[in-house]
Every structure is written in C-alpha cells, then in structure tokens.
Amino acid sequence: TTCLLLPLENSSSFLSRTSFYNNCWFFPSMYCLSLYNQIRFVKSALWYHGYGRPELYRLPSDGSAGSRELLLAFSWLLHRLSLLEQLLARNRVKTGDETSVCTCEDDLPNSQTGTTEIAPEYGLEDRVDVRYLQWLNGRLRFQWRSLHAQHQEQCKLLHKIHLFTSGSHMDQTLGHFSVTETDLVRQPENYKQLLQLLELETMQLEAFLEWKQLEPVYWQWMVMNQTDFEGIFSQKSTILFPLPFFPLQVKTKEEELQKEEFSATARKIQESVELKLLNLTHLCAPKKTQLHGSCRLVFRSKHPASKMAVSATEVIRELQMREASLERELKQLQEECRQRLDEIAEGLDGVICISP
Amino acid sequence: MSIVTVQLGQCGNQIGHEVFNAICSDVHGTHGLCSKKENESYCDACKERFFCEEESEVPVARAVLVDMEPKVISQTLSMAARSGYWKYDDRSHFCQKQGSGNNWANGYSVHGPRHKEVIMNLVQKEAEKCDRLGGFFTIMSMAGGTGSGLGAYVTQCLRDAFPTSFILNHVIWPYGTGEIIVQNYNSVLTLSHLYQSSDALLVHENDVIHKICAQLMNIKQISFRDVNQVIAHQLGSVFQPTYTAEGGLHYSRNPLGDLMETLVPHPEFKMLGLRNIPQMPENSLAYSTFSWPGLIKHLRQMLIANAKMEEGIDWQVRPPRLGLHPLSHSANKPLQFNTSIANLVILRGKDMHSVDLGSFRDPSLYTSWLNPQDAFNVWKTPRAFNKYEKSASLVSNSQFLLKPLDNVVGKAWNMFASKAYIHQYTKFGIEEEDFLDSFTALEQVISSYTIL
C-alpha cells in the first residue's frame, strides 16, 4: 500500500518501475533504503516541495496505511512540478557535453520557488545537542567540497578532450568531439548501446504523448474520488488542483461571509489578489540577462565570446553591486537592532548595556 | 584524486621523504598477497594520489619542499633520486641560506611573508598538475622555528588560495624534555594558528614513537631516521588506497575528503591521533602470526585506555556504563577512560572481510551527542601493507591529547606569566596580545574536549 507510484504502475506502457527508480533524481538509489527510511524520505521530499497536507505526514512509518494519501500527493507532484516533463528532460540522451548555467538572482531553479523553508514538525526530537547539528553541518560542508573538487576535475578532463579533438568534428560550428563522440571513436561498438538508449527514449516520448491524451481522464477520475479525502477543504493549506475544486471553495467561503462585511472583505481580497498578481508578473517577467538551464559546452580558443555567452566581468560587476547593496542593508539592519537593544536596555533597571 | 604534500622545515622534509619511501616500497613489494588485478588497481590508485608520471622514467612525488636551510633539502632530493624508484621534482623546492633559529615569530612574521610568493607559486604549479586536487598534506614540527612558524603561515596561505580544498596538517609533538627552551611557546603558537586554518591536525608525539622504537622495534640506539620510519609506516597505513564504502568496487579517489568527513566535521574538534597494530622489526615478521580478533581486541583497548602501543596496555580500563548518570555522563566516568568523538579503523590484508568490529560500535565509547553510526567508520582492502600479512590502524578523534596539550599550555603559561623570552617574539612582531589570543584558543580546545 505504500507504493507511491501507483498510477504509473497502472499505465503499463509508460516506464517500468525499475527504470523509473533508477532514473529518478529525487530518489537516490531507492532500493538501498529501508522501508522506514523510504517513507521518511518521501515525506521530507514532499515537504520540501511545499506539499502541506498534514494527513500525509501523520501516516504511520511502517507503511501499513496511506495509499490514498500517496495517490493524492503523487497527483499533486504530477501537476505542481510537471514531474513527467522534468523526468524526461532529465533523462534525455545527451550526445553533446552540457553544463548547467544559472545566473538567476536567488540561485534557485525555477521549479523550486514554491519550496518551503520551515522544518517539518514531526522530524527532530525535542532535545538535540547543538554539537550534533554542527557535526552534520560540517559533514555537509565537506561533502560540498568533495563535489566541488569532482566538478573541477570534470571541467579539466572535458577541456582536455575538447582541446585534443579540436578540428575533428564535421560540424564547423562545434569543431571538436564531445565525450560521447570521443567514446564512440575509441570504441565504435558502443554505438549499439547508444542506439538502444535513443530507442528507449523514443519509446518514452511516445508513451508520454499517449499519457497526455489520456491525462484528462485521470484527473476526472481523481476528482470523482475526491469525496474520499475527508476534510480536504477544512485545512488551511488547501491543495489546489486544476479546475474542478475551485468553484466549491469559493462557494463555501461565500456562505461564511455575512452580508455587511461582504464589501469590506471583497475589497481586501481584491487588494491581496492584485498584490499577488503583481508579484507574479514580477516573477514571470522575462529576464534578459539571466540564464538558467542546460547549455551545450563548446570550446572556443580564440574567437570572441558570442552574444549568448555569460561574460565573467559582467557577472562580477553585477555581484559586486549586489554585495554593496546587501552590505548597505546589513548596516541598516544592524543600526535598527542597536536602536531596539538600546530601547530595551532603557527599560531595564540597574543594567548597563554596552552596544556592540 | 591527488594529494599535494608540503614538507616544511628539517623535520617535515625528513619525514616527508620517509613517507614517500614507505609508500613506494609498499607498492613495489611482492608481499601484496592479493590477486594481480587487485594489486594493479591498488598501485594505480596510489600513484594517482602521490605521484605524477609525466616525461620521466620514475614517478615524481607530488610535493613541495620548503626549508630555510639548504642542507636537509639537498640531502632529501639526492636520497630520493638515488633510490631509483621515485624522485622529487627538481624545481619543486625552496630554500634559503639561513634558518629561523628556532624562533616561531621569525618563521611566521619574517620568512613567511617574504617568501610567500615563491612558495605559493610552487604549490600552485603542483596543484595544476593534478586532474583532481584532493587537498594538501603538510608535514612539520610543532616546536621549531621554520617548520612551525613558516608552516603555520603557509597553511594560512593555502587556506586563502584554496578555500575549497582539504588541508590536513601533520604535526610532530616535541619530546617532553626537548632541548629547545621556547618549544612550549612555539607549540602554543603553532597549534592555535593551525586550528584556525587547517581542517584537521594529525599529531605524532615524539615520546610515543621513541617508545615504539625501543620496545616494539627493539632498536638499541634510536636515530631520527628510525623514529621517522615508524611515523611514515603509520601514515602510509592510513593513506594507501582502501575501499571506504561498504561493498565499494573502486578504491576511494577522495582519501582526504573521506577522512575529514568521517572524523572532523565539527570545527571545534580537529585533533587526530594514530595507532597501529602490529608493529615489529621486519625480521620477526616471518615468525609471527596474527588473528583478527586478537588484533581488534588490542586496538580497542589501546583506544579506550589511551595506550599508544600494544605493549603496556591497561586492561582494567572499561567504558562507563551508559544510562546510570544520563546528565552527568562525563563527570562520572572513570578518569583514565578515553572518550572518542569519532573513530576510523583501517584493515589491510588477508580475510579482512570476516572481521567483527562490533566492539567499536559500542555507544559507550563515544560522546553522548553522536551515535556509533555517525562516529565509527571502517576502510578495508585485501591488499597487505608493507609486509604485514594483516594490519590494522586506528585514526581517532578523542581525548587522547588532552594531557599533553594541557601540559604544554601550562608550561608555556608559566613562562609567559614571568615574561620569559617574550622579547624574542616581540622583536619580530608577535605581541603579548597574540600570545593571549593563542592561549585563549587552546583553552577553548581543552575545555571542548574535556566536557565531551
């Protein structure tokens, strides 16, 4: 009953469960985890992505119940994260060398702007020695450093390949081989494997198209079952599904309102909606200077950087400006804190407070 | 992944040379006792870590040699070249005509800044030769002038220039009855400065190694070389390739990172000690056999009774019983018991897969805020090390150094209180305030380790 991927299993023409696990970016080698850890992991991953329905987090950790909640959560993921599209993009067979570039201000991938930062309530026990947290933090720091070294090595090796194969590629704009191509040149028999991968990808894409055609049926079925999810609307953190839920919500709200308060409330709502819309347009506004996503790596030795390229000096200048503004903000906040401390200290008898 | 070794001062250069020697003779030995394939990947991993093989017949050590006197460096270079198995890069060393006169301040404030650019250029060149720079391993003495003063300065420069690389400092703790009058000052200054810029300090006490030479190795007249060879053997037993993950298929490519992540993630606890078993003269090895349970039993008792070698272990020391005094856990424990933060056991040789290490996973061995899952790790390889059919090493982040540290700080403080020899430091720009900062930093370390 704890299988999160129930709908996937049913649509057998899609990915097999095994290959789904293996390709999944948010389930690190799921098969190595114990059931308890799997459940913990699923809960925290959902929490991370902003899933707020408490019933899910109250599910027992032995996996004895919860398939309905999981189905709901899965549907939410499917809709909210564009899960399938992300997986397809992630597992695309790459014949060229790619790197991820992100010059967004908040450094968060677009899809994750909805993630929560609050720690889950069920997680840590009441008394945790701060030294343990420092220890864990230190481990993360070290792991990050190891990753960094690994990434630098990758860059170094890529550079070697690009340098040594320059002039070999038929495509003049590229000029050099990618890792996959170099591998094929060295071990031509590997093309069979590549072909297989490409065929598999085609199959997945076809299955995806099929799913897209059938998707409305799935959502309708979900909505038909929605009565089973008791109390779904009584929660603060209402889960927003595509269309069908919306009218219902508005209706209940409307009934709650008393007539004399109606206009005032309506105005308030109107204002907050406008504010949110403003926020949204700001968030969705195309930002010309900001790159985000995967880019094909092409080695250029002497040519001047093309228009799309990220210029280091530009980024540095931008970062410096940002640093300056942050520093100003910090100073201002410190000043405010100092003032508040002074105010508090004035209210205390017999205490001398020396401001930092 | 590769480690760049930085050998500083007379002591650092001599030990560094012995380390490369030990590693090389282990790789070239015919004692591997494992499959040919295993041996090959072991040797490859080792070479990637410590040597580069560009354009030369013998492997070239990834090392930078620094000293203020030319004598030791030229000896070291020629000895390595004569071995025929490996050598140093001819251009990867730096020396001057005059030493630091055992004055920490001279090394730190004068020689360091003056020669920073040249030294860091050498380091940069070595670093660029690595496909993947894993980090730095610096070797130096704690009490002298060049190694300790310049070493502390160079470590700081390394941290600035390579903020994301791992830095492991190997320091030699001076003899309790050392001949340098200001050795405690130097030690306090070195330790406090390293504690800031290094990720971990791996400590070898001269007194302990001396005892090992006398009692385990049966050496009558102990030379520096004998001491250094024991140290090199112990270091090799840690840094030669191992499988660091359970069921791993490849030798770890990130030895420094794996070591740090296992033992010193907490920035307040960076002191590492090293024990190994067995340790004996080479000619006795042929007549000895060992069983894993016996070795592990000894190693564990060496840990909890804080014995530095397998002879003279106090078998009366027992871990405190957990649960009796949950709130005053540290206050009520037996005095001699050595509480650990984290331990790493490294097993090399025959049948190491069958070894039961349950006794190291006992929660009572560790501080109350870490569980054995976090605090204990094992690295393994079936490949035997340096002619030992079976051998085990233990790297431990524990209270083992509390007493020596307290001693050094106490002695230095007594001298400082009477202002003895301070002028020798102030004349090179190390003021009384710097001393006070160093004392404070080390008192903090002592207190952190005491209240585990």
Coil vs helix vs strand at A96 = coil
* In a shared domain, residues B383 and B243: no
Q: Could you tell me which residue, A4 or A67, shows the higher pLDDT? A: A67
CA–CA dist B176, B35 (Å, integer): 46
Average pLDDT over residues B157-167: 95
Contact across the interface for B132 and A153, Cβ inside 8 Å:
yes
CA–CA dist A110, A105 (Å, integer): 11
> At which of B214, B244, B273 does a domain end?
B273
Q: Could you tell me which residue, A236 or B362, shows the higher pLDDT? A: B362
CATH number of the domain that residue B139 is part of:
3.40.50.1440
Amino acid at A136: L
Q: Could you tell me which residue, A280 or B275, shows the higher pLDDT? A: B275
Find the domain containing B432 and state its range: 403-450
Residues whose CB is less than 8 angstroms from the CB of residue B392 and which lie 6 or more positions away in sequence, other chains included: B276, B277, B295, B296, B299, B345, B346, B347, B348
Coil vs helix vs strand at B122 = helix
CATH number of the domain that residue B325 is part of:
3.30.1330
* In a shared domain, residues B171 and B261: yes
B451 CB neighbour count, 10 Å cutoff: 10
**Which pLDDT score, from 0 to 100, does residue A282 have?**
65
A135 CB neighbour count, 10 Å cutoff: 24
Cβ proximity of B389 and B34 under 8 Å:
no
Tell me which of A139-153, A289-303, B111-125, B340-354 is least confident.
Answer: A289-303
CA–CA dist A129, B439 (Å, integer): 27
Identify which of B391, B217, B387, B395 has the alpha carbon closest to the alpha carbon of residue B290.
B391
> Which residue from B131, B266, B367 is facing A153, i.e. has the nearest CB?
B131
Reading phi first (left if > 0) and then psi (alpha if -120 to 50, else beta), residue B108 is in: alpha
Flag whether pLDDT at A14 surpasses 70. Answer: no
Average pLDDT over residues A99-122: 56
Backbone dihedral angles phi then psi of residue B68, each to the nearest 5 degrees: -90, -15
> At which of B360, B382, B398 does a domain end?
B398
Which of B166, B261, B263, B341 to mutate to test binding with chain A, by most A CBs within 10 Å of its CB?
A: B261
* In a shared domain, residues B200 and B215: yes
CA–CA dist B187, B144 (Å, integer): 8
Contact across the interface for B369 and A138, Cβ inside 8 Å:
no
CA–CA dist A312, A217 (Å, integer): 49
* In a shared domain, residues B64 and B207: yes
* In a shared domain, residues B92 and B185: yes
CB proximity B134 to A under 8 Å = yes
CB proximity B421 to A under 8 Å = no
**Which pLDDT score, from 0 to 100, does residue A250 have?**
47
Burial (CB count within 10 angstroms: exposed 0-12, middle 13-18, buried 19+), residue B363: middle
Helix H or strand E encompassing A324: helix A312-346
* In a shared domain, residues B234 and B142: yes
Q: How far is CA A73 from CA A14, A47, A51, A55, A331, in A?
A: 20, 10, 8, 10, 44
Is the bond leading into B278 cis (omega within 30 degrees of zero)? yes
Contact across the interface for A152 and B260, Cβ inside 8 Å:
no
* In a shared domain, residues B265 and B298: no
Which of B260, B264, B444 to mutate to test binding with chain A, by most A CBs within 10 Å of its CB?
A: B260
Backbone dihedral angles phi then psi of residue A129, each to the nearest 5 degrees: -65, 130
* In a shared domain, residues B68 and B216: yes
Contact across the interface for A150 and B266, Cβ inside 8 Å:
no
The structural domain count of chain B equals 3
Flag whether pLDDT at A310 surpasses 80. Answer: no
Helix H or strand E encompassing A344: helix A312-346
Identify which of B432, B399, B428 has the alpha carbon closest to the alpha carbon of residue B413.
B432
pLDDT in tens, A32-58: 568 888 888 999 999 999 898 898 999
Cβ proximity of A152 and B133 under 8 Å:
yes
* In a shared domain, residues B408 and B387: no
* In a shared domain, residues B383 and B415: no
A243 CB neighbour count, 10 Å cutoff: 9
> Which residue from B132, B257, B370 is facing A142, i.e. has the nearest CB?
B257
CATH number of the domain that residue B441 is part of:
1.10.287
The Cα diameter of chain A in Å comes to 85
* In a shared domain, residues B363 and B422: no
pLDDT in tens, A173-219: 778 888 888 888 888 888 898 999 999 999 999 999 999 999 999 99
* In a shared domain, residues B173 and B320: no
> Which residue from A132, A139, A149 is facing B261, i.e. has the nearest CB?
A139
Query: Which B residues in the span 253-312 are in contact with A, Cβ-Cβ below 8 Å?
Result: 254, 257, 260-261, 264-268
CB contacts of A136 in chain B (<8 Å) are 265
Prediction ipTM score: 0.91
Domain range list for chain A: 28-258+290-301
CB contacts of A148 in chain B (<8 Å) are 164
